[in-house]
Amino acid sequence: MSIVVFAESSDNQFKKSTFEAISYAKEIGTLMGKEVVAVNISSIANSAELGKYGASKVLNCNNTDGFTSDSTSEIFASICKQIGASIVVVSNSYVGKSLAPRIAISLNASLATNVISVPDLSNGFTVKRGVFSGKAFAFVNLNRDIKVLAITPNSFEINANGSDCATESVSVNASPSKITINAVNKVTGKIPLTEAELVVSAGRGMKGPENWNMIEELASLIGAATACSKPVSDMGWRPHSEHVGQTGITIKPNLYIAIGISGAIQHLAGVSSSKTIVAINKDPEAPFFKSADYGIVGDAFEILPKLISALKN
Amino acid sequence: MKILVCISVVPDTTTKITFTDNDTTFNKAGVQFIVNPYDELAVTRALEIAEANNGTVTIVHVGEADSEPSIRKALSMGANEAIRINAIPVDAQFVAEEIAKIAQGYDLILTGRESIDYNGGAVCGLLGALLNIPSINVVTKIDYNSGNFTFDRDIDGGKETLTCAGPLVASAQKDLCEPRIPNMRGIMAARTKPLQIIEASVSNQAANYQSYSLPAAKGSVKLIDAENAGELINILKNEVKVI
């Protein structure tokens, strides 16, 4: 029985969230005395590096067809069954969340998504997961023998103490997907928001989409992803994929800088797990200041140039 | 064209979340419940597709009698009929297994991307696997043309365009459409639309919610003088060591 991790990749590279998932699996493996096997269903040939994060073996299943929920799940479930997976770990990404429920059904497993902690084994198998869109946490006991866990990015630290591991090729006969992928448009050179360690976010206080160049400049100087509040995405100033909050995406970066966002309860829900929060707002009564670690009361149009010039010096 | 839309009923987005019974139960006192916002998008788009293709829309919800006002809301938006599976929706797997029992025979099944209370985002994929049909998560566009559905969907760091024939299940993401607001005629008509109640029968529960906790409160904010805003960069670099 082993712990199996889905090694998610993008553009022929393993994702940072994969390293987190393997490190996470390794920690459970150490607790339970199980080995960690990473499964690489992609066209990446060289996967030995996954050993550094705690995998004792990587199974490579060459796949050049891209990810489809039905076919990739069938391949992955079949490998999980072959090697007798008792715990399956994926990242709580769009890919991971398409995969995890299908795997859970195939393996007759218990499923938990949005998981943010290593399981507590003192009384069964209990995981902590984010609920109410970041407003609370729940402790959930998983009852079935096999467990499928989707781990929230940035909730578990990468541990790269190991060394390269053995790799093996496997092939699986799966039915062709019923889904045809017509086009994939990835925004290149940008950090995906859910995985970003640093996020610069702005709201209506920026007055219009034409003023976002300052936000982008600040973000690029510190290597951050950009995000926005709900009104900003509703008005079409920014794409909805940047909307963080209760009805957008929930993030937990190491640093969240909120500029011209008042801090409504729905917005705070999506960002309050950030490790350090900076609020910049001209209204000293803005609710964000109650949830921030650092604050600057003032006009974003005066403060942003100061921050940018401080970074350039 | 037969479309099934799964809706959940969740606390209004402005709700302050608290727990009772030693943090084991969500405190419903004074909380206003609404149709999950993503599910409203699913209902709206389902209606648009059904109206253009001479189809019908059925609403399904797993919950107790107190969620009937929300089911009636979906009917007042224009859905033809509703099914309530009478049970406390204990977790996503329970909900999906209950829905799967009535979900045969639909060309398209829609859910929301996730419910804003339990945020599992799992019911779409679970239903796909239980019914052995494709599942397509987080779609921002659905079109139907002679037997095929085309989708735009969010992927990590971008977008994807897909084609798939029904039956299939997809989950609605923001941008899919503007949620339809019921008009008076719809509200009146909804009162007499069929709402069938079925008793739940799944017994092998996959997960138990044991307790809850709230995020730790932040200490007080350290204010930096706006005149000296550059100091923030210094703090983030040298004290917090985050950049």
Are residues A113 and B120, on separate chains, in Cβ contact within 8 Å? yes
Nearest CB among B17, B38, B134 relative to A135 is that of B17
Burial letters for B131-150: b for 16+ Cβ neighbours within 10 Å, e otherwise? bebbbbbbbbebebeeeebb
| B157 in contact with A, Cβ within 8 Å | yes
Question: How do residues B207-223 score in pLDDT, each as one tens digit?
Answer: 999 999 999 888 899 99
The dihedral of CA A292, A297, A303, A306: what is its sign?
negative
Contact A94 B150 (CB under 8 A): no
B188 touches chain A (CB under 8 A): no
Whole-number pLDDT of residue A1: 82
Q: Is the peptide bond before A287 cis (omega within 30 degrees of 0)?
A: no
The nearest CA of chain B is from the CA of A310 a distance in Å of 5
How far from each other are the two terminal CA atoms of chain A, in whole angstroms?
55
Residue B216 near chain A (CB below 8 Å): no
Pick the closest to residue A272 from B216, B212, B113, B237 (CA basis).
B216
Domain count, chain B: 1
* CB contact (8 A) between residue B224 and residue A295: yes
Q: What's residue A66's pLDDT?
A: 86
pLDDT of residue B202: 81
DSSP secondary structure string, B22-59? TTTEE--TTPPEEE-HHHHHHHHHHHHHHHHTT-EEEE
A70/A76 Cα distance (integer angstroms): 10
Looking at this protein, which amino acid is placed at residue A94? Answer: Y
Torsion of CA A215, A217, A221, A226, to 10 degrees: 40
Interface touch B17/A98, C-beta < 8 Å: no
* Chain B: closest CA distance from residue A247 (Å): 7
Do the chains contact at A140 and B208, CB–CB below 8 Å? yes
A138 contacts B212 by C-beta, under 8 angstroms? yes
Query: Under a CB-based contact definition with an 8 Å cutoff, are residues B29 and B13 in contact?
Result: no
Put simply, the answer to whether B208 touches A143 (Cβ < 8 Å) is: yes
- Give me the residues of B, 5-24, that contact A with CB < 8 A: 11, 13-14, 16-17, 19
Q: What is the pLDDT along chain A (313 residues), one digit of tens a residue?
A: 899 999 999 889 999 999 999 999 999 999 999 999 999 999 999 999 999 999 999 999 998 888 999 999 999 999 999 999 999 999 999 999 999 999 999 999 999 999 999 999 999 999 999 999 989 999 999 999 999 999 999 999 999 999 999 999 999 988 999 999 999 998 776 778 888 999 999 999 999 999 999 999 999 999 999 999 999 999 999 998 899 998 898 999 999 999 999 999 999 999 999 999 999 999 999 999 999 999 999 999 999 999 999 999 8
Contacts of B128 (CB under 8 A, 6+ apart): A69, A70, A101, A102, B134, B135, B168, B169
Domain borders along chain A are 2-169, 193-312
Q: Span B2-11, mean pLDDT?
A: 98
Residue A41: both structure tokens together:
């269903």
Q: Is B13 inside any structural domain?
A: yes
Predicted pLDDT of residue A194: 86
Q: Answer whether residue B104 is part of any domain.
A: yes
The CA distance from B243 to the nearest CA of chain A, in Å, is 6
User: CA nearest B13 in A: which residue?
Assistant: A266
Q: Any idea what the CATH number is for the domain that residue B13 is in?
A: 3.40.50.620
Beta strands at A294-297 and A276-281: parallel, antiparallel or unpaired: parallel
The mean pLDDT of B103-111, rounded to a whole number, is 98
Fold category of A193-312 in CATH = Rossmann fold (3.40.50)
Give yes or no for residue B115 having a pLDDT over 90.
yes
Domains A2-169 and A193-312 share a fold: yes
Domain range enclosing B175: 2-218
Question: If you average pLDDT over residues B118-132, what whole number do you get?
Answer: 97
Residue that has been written with the tokens 């597709």 in this structure:
B49
Q: Where are the alpha helices (DSSP H) in chain A?
A: 16-32, 69-82, 94-106, 212-222, 230-234, 265-271, 288-291, 300-312
In the block, residue with structure tokens 């993008």: A10
| Tens digits of residue pLDDT in B87-102 | 999 999 999 999 999 9
Taking CB atoms and an 8 Å cutoff, what residues of chain A touch B17? 132, 135-136
Token code pair at residue A135:
């407003």
Partner A, chain B 29-48, Cβ-Cβ below 8 Å: 37-38
Cβ separation of A307 and B124 shorter than 8 Å? no
Confidence of residue B118 (pLDDT cuts 50, 70, 90): very high
How many angstroms separate the Cα of A203 from the Cα of each of A208, A254, A273, B152?
9, 20, 19, 26
- Across the interface, whether the CB atoms of A139 and B210 are under 8 A apart is answered yes
The CATH number of the domain covering residues in A2-169:
3.40.50.620
Phi/psi for A100 (5° steps) reads: -55, -45
ipTM of the complex: 0.95
Residue B225 lies in a domain: no
pLDDT value for A4 = 98
Query: In residues, how long is chain A?
Result: 313
- Best of A102, A151, A283 to disrupt the B interface (most B CBs within 10 Å) is A102
| pLDDT on residue B10 | 97
Show residues of chain A in contact with B155, CB under 8 Å: 94-95, 184, 186
Instruction: Supply angle C-alpha A264, A270, A274, rounded to 5.
Output: 110
